């Protein structure tokens, strides 16, 4: 593997990342500060996501026992958004209407249990809730894409520590999906095989970046990763959506999620912040043989619980850049226990 500056091509987005491994040669220092462990209550009477509590507008949450999905009280998209945007008189000033709606999905009634702390059946419940709700939203006539995502931790702008996620359904395809649809379609046209199926096979041959895998899913630090501990979780077969997964595939995905998020928490022995989301095929009623269901984990932390990577300067103005290589990052994650640090015998 190159240890001099080089750029790597992201086959999924068609963009490049600058890798500067020589800058990361200094060994991992002992300066891993730990934050005092946060202890959250199992139930918080002031939390608007806990069971039985009041939300905006005087609505009370049910006494839910598994997952809980509801329309976001402050949605970024509205189903009856302006249907007429004033016609643009100039090609440099273009806008089009965007309609949609947004759900919030709580992982469990427990205020204090994040994904890695849930047991496998509970994680499967979360996956099934995402699958059912994104299928239902995708079946609405005017919806063409559903984004499932979780912002975890205050560092990622998450405003409520109660573990939850969001589903945004919209009438137009968002930027990342436009890019990934173009690259996967092009690859499929040329090779008659899905890009990600080939990519994962190649990664398994090389074995340099695999974090964890089972019969149906693989988690790896992608060759083109931008964030220090970025992870891609991808299905082994072409699959357009979460709803397409069989029961055994859903169990396999739950296992991979537990492995990835547990190692994340164990890295700095904190509740590891990230933005995570699934990329499902457009919900446009068309077959998508080129598409392989996958999830991206983008965590901001670099060297410790408090040292984060910033995307500033060169990254904002030119292109993303990283020092620690994906191969070194995956080695760090692989070397960690898959038993959550809170459950470890002292
Ligand atoms: Zn809560
Ligand atoms: Zn993607």
CA of 288 to the centre of ligand 2 (A): 14
Ligand nearest 180 Cα, by number? 2
pLDDT in tens, 39-59: 899 999 999 999 999 998 899
Cα-to-centroid distance, 236 and ligand 1 (Å): 35
CA of 13 to the centre of ligand 2 (A): 8
Give me the pLDDT at residue 57, please. 83
What local confidence, expressed as pLDDT, does residue 38 receive? 72
**Of the listed 101, 111, 144, 164, which one is catalytic?**
164
Distance 240 CA to ligand 2 centre (A): 12
Question: Which DSSP helix (H) or strand (E) runs through 167?
Answer: strand 164-170
Ligand 2: centre distance to CA 176 (Å) = 7
Domains in the chain (CATH in brackets) are 7-20+30-80+95-343 (3.30.428.10)
Q: What is the pLDDT of residue 184?
A: 98
For each of the chain's 346 residues, which pLDDT tens digit applies? 678 999 999 999 999 999 998 876 655 554 455 665 678 999 999 999 999 999 988 999 999 999 999 999 888 888 876 666 667 778 898 888 899 999 999 999 999 999 999 999 999 999 999 999 999 999 999 999 999 999 999 888 888 999 999 999 999 999 999 999 999 999 999 999 999 999 999 999 999 999 999 999 999 999 999 999 999 999 999 999 999 999 999 999 999 999 999 999 999 999 999 999 999 999 999 999 999 999 999 999 998 888 889 889 999 999 999 999 999 999 999 999 999 999 987 6
pLDDT at 80: 79
pLDDT at site 304: 86
Q: Are 336 and 263 in contact (CB under 8 A)?
A: yes
How far does residue 41's CA lie from ligand 1's centre (Å)?
Answer: 9
Tell me what pLDDT residue 89 has: 79
Q: What is the pLDDT of residues 58-108, one digit of tens each?
A: 999 999 999 999 999 888 888 876 666 667 778 898 888 899 999 999 999
Ligand approaching nearest to the C-alpha of 40: 1
The closest ligand to the CA of 114 turns out to be: 1
pLDDT digits (tens, 9 = 90+) for 324-346: 999 999 999 999 999 999 998 76
Asked about 144 being catalytic, the answer comes back as no
**Rounded to the nearest whole angstrom, what is the distance from the C-alpha of residue 26 to the centroid of ligand 2?**
32
pLDDT at position 295: 98
Q: Which ligand is nearest to the CA of 106?
A: 1
Query: In 3D, which of 144, 171, 135, 184 has the Cα closest to residue 284?
Result: 144
Taking the CA of 50 as reference, the closest ligand is 1
**The pLDDT value given to residue 96:** 86
- Determine the distance separating the centroid of ligand 2 and the alpha carbon of 50, expressed in angstroms: 31
Distance 63 CA to ligand 2 centre (A): 35
């Amino acid at each position: 593997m190159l240890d001099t500056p080089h750029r790597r091509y992201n086959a999924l987005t068609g963009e490049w990342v600058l890798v500067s491994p020589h800058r990361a040669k200094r060994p991992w220092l002992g300066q891993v500060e730990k934050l005092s462990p946060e202890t959250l209550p199992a139930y918080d009477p002031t939390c608007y996501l806990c069971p039985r509590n009041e939300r905006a507008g005087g609505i009370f949450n049910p006494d839910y026992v598994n997952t809980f999905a509801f329309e976001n009280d402050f949605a970024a998209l509205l189903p009856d958004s302006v249907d007429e945007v004033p016609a643009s008189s100039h090609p440099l000033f273009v806008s089009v209407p965007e309609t949609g709606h947004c759900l919030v999905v709580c992982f469990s009634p427990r205020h204090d249990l994040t994904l890695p702390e849930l047991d496998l059946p509970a994680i499967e419940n979360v996956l099934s809730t995402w699958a059912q709700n994104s299928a239902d939203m995708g079946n609405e006539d005017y919806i063409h894409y559903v984004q499932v995502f979780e912002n975890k931790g205050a560092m990622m702008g998450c405003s409520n520590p109660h573990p939850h996620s969001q589903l945004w359904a919209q009438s137009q395809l968002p930027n990342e999906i436009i890019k990934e649809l173009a690259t996967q379609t092009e690859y499929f046209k040329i090779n008659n095989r899905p890009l990600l199926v080939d990519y994962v096979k190649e990664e398994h041959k090389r074995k340099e970046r695999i974090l964890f895998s089972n019969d149906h899913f693989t988690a790896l630090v992608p060759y083109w990763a931008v964030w220090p501990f970025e992870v891609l979780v991808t299905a082994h077969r072409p699959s357009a959506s979460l709803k397409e997964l069989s029961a055994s595939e859903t169990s396999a995905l739950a296992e991979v999620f537990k492995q990835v998020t547990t190692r994340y928490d164990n890295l700095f022995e904190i509740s590891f912040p990230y933005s995570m989301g699934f990329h499902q095929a457009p919900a446009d009623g068309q077959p998508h043989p080129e598409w392989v269901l996958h999830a991206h984990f983008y965590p901001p932390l670099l060297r410790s619980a408090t040292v984060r990577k910033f995307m500033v300067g060169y990254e904002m103005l030119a292109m993303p850049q990283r020092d620690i290589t994906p191969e070194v990052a995956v080695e760090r994650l692989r070397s960690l226990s898959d038993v959550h640090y809170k459950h470890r015998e002292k």
